[in-house]
């Protein structure tokens, strides 16, 4: 263990932290931003399962890849480790009243309001809606030419979450969809991670455009929320459930609260699933034997292999490399060390899911490993855990199954370049770096 002296928010702190690369913060930040998978692998090789990163302008980040440490992090009481504070990067997207940024009782109250709408039975009732959206979108994808599918997959998952929230049959959802895509174009920029850049060219322009798009999204959302609040008897979407008996008028605090909850669901519900699907498409394009077996099994109407493929995609390329950073609020012990504020603790799911002690050939994409054995809870955590465990996983799985089935009913995929794409950051998740470029071909049915 090394002693690290850090100056943070004007105060000099002497804290004991696990080892960190002896590189300036700017170099560490750049390396992690440039190729997060490679940097994490390198740190693990050099420093073991627990190491520290010094991100520029932020408190120390302690990465932990041991399953027992990750469990300790995600189950720690909220007055000891605060995920709300650690998730501040997404604040401008979801809004300050989002339950995702809250801790303790406020977080739980917000979470409880959305959970009934995302239960397995409730989500299963959306199967036909998801199928129709997927079929409509997939038929518009160009064939026989390289196409970057990530944007198209995000557009698809955004439609699904909007229909889940608002129900079907409102033409303004197309306009909301367009405005949201414009607003979320900021997600790939550094301005979310480094607020100081928002005042400097060329980022100032990106930030100003984002604020304008966000205003226009909020205006339309307010209109839809107020209208639904007055006519909720005809409505079967998640919003009706969320509104409950509340009286909501434009310009009131209640509308800000509902709007920020919706923005949280929209962000968490479409960026993640769209990006996980992009990794699935990439991995299948570069593993033709897996793709051929998947097609054969789907033709036989068997979902077992598709489910194994999805588990393996979530293991090998989880979009969240780590659980939401938990800010240390009170001294706490994890894995035999005591941590103090302002350190942040991160459960490094990506490294845990590539541990050679838990998986044979962890760097190989091999869905067969999940055919006879379900994923182990102590070695597979793509949905996170504890009080923050992903509440949208049933919807995400429904979407992933439906996209794979619809895609391979009519198409096959070929890679558009020599190697699997490296990861690129979008907000707090990682996506294929060139936008998931593949070539789609019409399937020959014999
Ligand atoms: C493949 C797709 C998805 C993946 C891999 C994923 C993964 C995750 C992870 C890792 C977390 C954080 C857990 C933690 O830090 O402990 C999370 C939180 C969350 N997810 Fe998902 N998610 C996906 C899809 C969805 C969908 C479709 C929805 C919504 C409808 C959704 C809604 C949420 C929400 C609201 C939270 C915050 C929960 C809280 O703060 O209590 N997610 N997700």
Query: Where does residue 64 rank: exposed (0-12), middle (13-18), buried (19+ CB within 10 A)?
Result: buried
In 3D space, the residue among 405, 116, 100 whose CA is nearest the CA of residue 240 turns out to be 116
Print burial letters for 301-337: b (CB count within 10 Å at least 16), e (below 16): eeeebbbbbbbbbbbbbbbbbbbbbbbbbeebebbee
Q: Point out the ligand 1 atom lying closest to the alpha carbon of residue 397.
A: 1
The CATH homologous superfamily for domain 2-442 is: Cytochrome P450 (1.10.630.10)
Round to whole Å and give the CA distance between 400 and 9: 43
- Choose the weakest-confidence range: 46-60, 163-177, 184-198, 239-253: 239-253
Taking all residues of the chain, what is their mean pLDDT, rounded to a whole number? 91
**Regarding predicted confidence, which is higher, 278 or 16?**
278
- To test the ligand 1 pocket, which listed residue (390, 400, 429) has its Cβ within 8 A of the most ligand atoms? 390
pTM for the model stands at: 0.94
Q: Point out the ligand 1 atom lying closest to the alpha carbon of residue 399.
A: 27
Residue 7, pLDDT above cutoff 50 = no
Q: How far is the CA of 413 from the centre of ligand 1 (A)?
A: 28
Q: How far is the CA of 145 from the centre of ligand 1 (A)?
A: 33
Q: How far is the CA of 379 from the centre of ligand 1 (A)?
A: 18
Q: How far is the CA of 264 from the centre of ligand 1 (A)?
A: 10
- To test the ligand 1 pocket, which listed residue (90, 271, 392, 427) has its Cβ within 8 A of the most ligand atoms? 392
pLDDT tens digits, residue range 51-105? 999 998 889 999 999 999 999 999 999 999 998 877 788 999 999 989 999 989 9
* Position 10 confidence tier, pLDDT thresholds 50, 70, 90: very low
For atom 18 of ligand 1, the residue with the nearest CA is: 390
**pLDDT at position 194:** 87
Domain map of the chain by residue range?
Answer: 2-442
Q: Ligand 1: which residues within 6 Å by Cβ?
A: 74, 100, 111, 118, 161, 264-265, 268-269, 272-273, 276, 319-320, 323-324, 382-385, 388-392, 395-396
Round to whole Å and give the CA distance between 345 and 69: 10
Residue 247, pLDDT above cutoff 70 = no
Q: How far is the CA of 268 from the centre of ligand 1 (A)?
A: 6
Q: Point out the ligand 1 atom lying closest to the alpha carbon of residue 324.
A: 15
Q: How far is the CA of 367 from the centre of ligand 1 (A)?
A: 23
Q: How far is the CA of 299 from the centre of ligand 1 (A)?
A: 31
* Position 3 confidence tier, pLDDT thresholds 50, 70, 90: very low
* Position 256 confidence tier, pLDDT thresholds 50, 70, 90: confident
């Amino acid at each position: 263990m090394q002693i690290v002296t850090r100056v943070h928010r004007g105060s000099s702190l002497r804290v004991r932290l696990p080892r960190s690369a002896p590189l300036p913060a700017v170099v560490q930040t750049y390396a992690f931003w440039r190729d997060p998978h490679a940097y994490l692998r390198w740190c693990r090789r050099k420093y073991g399962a627990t190491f520290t990163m010094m991100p520029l302008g932020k408190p120390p980040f302690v990465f932990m890849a041991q399953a027992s440490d990750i469990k300790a992090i995600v189950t720690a009481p909220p007055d000891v480790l605060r995920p709300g504070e650690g998730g501040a990067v997404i604040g401008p997207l979801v809004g300050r009243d989002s339950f995702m940024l809250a801790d303790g009782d406020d977080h739980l109250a917000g979470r409880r309001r959305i959970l009934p709408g995302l239960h397995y039975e409730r989500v299963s009732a959306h199967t036909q809606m998801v199928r129709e959206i997927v079929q409509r979108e997939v038929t518009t994808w160009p064939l026989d030419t390289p196409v970057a599918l990530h944007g198209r997959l995000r557009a698809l998952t955004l439609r699904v979450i909007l229909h889940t929230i608002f129900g079907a049959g409102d033409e303004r959802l197309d306009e909301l969809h367009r405005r949201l895509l414009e607003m979320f174009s900021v997600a790939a920029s550094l301005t979310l991670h480094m607020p100081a850049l928002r005042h400097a060219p060329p980022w100032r322009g990106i930030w100003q455009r984002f604020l304008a798009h966000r205003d226009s999204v909020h205006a339309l959302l307010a209109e839809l929320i107020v209208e639904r609040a007055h006519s909720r008897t005809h409505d079967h979407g998640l919003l009706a459930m969320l509104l409950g008996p509340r009286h909501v008028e434009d310009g009131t605090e209640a509308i800000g609260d509902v709007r920020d909850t919706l923005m949280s669901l929209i962000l968490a519900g479409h960026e993640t699933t769209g990006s996980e699907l992009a990794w699935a498409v990439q991995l299948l394009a570069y593993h033709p034997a897996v793709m051929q077996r998947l097609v054969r099994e789907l033709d036989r109407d068997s979902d077992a292999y598709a489910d194994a493929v999805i588990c393996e995609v979530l293991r090998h390329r989880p979009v969240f490399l780590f659980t939401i950073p938990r800010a240390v609020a009170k001294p706490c012990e994890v894995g035999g060390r005591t941590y103090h504020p302002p350190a942040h603790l991160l459960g490094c799911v990506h490294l845990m899911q590539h541990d050679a002690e838990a998986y044979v050939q962890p760097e190989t994409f091999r869905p067969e490993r999940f055919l006879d054995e379900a994923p182990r809870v102590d070695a597979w955590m793509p949905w996170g855990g504890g009080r923050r465990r992903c509440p949208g996983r049933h919807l995400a799985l429904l979407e992933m199954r439906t996209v794979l089935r619809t895609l391979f009913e009519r198409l096959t995929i070929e890679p558009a370049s020599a190697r699997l794409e490296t990861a690129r950051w979008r907000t707090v998740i990682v996506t294929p770096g060139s936008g998931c470029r593949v070539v789609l071909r019409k399937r020959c049915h014999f």
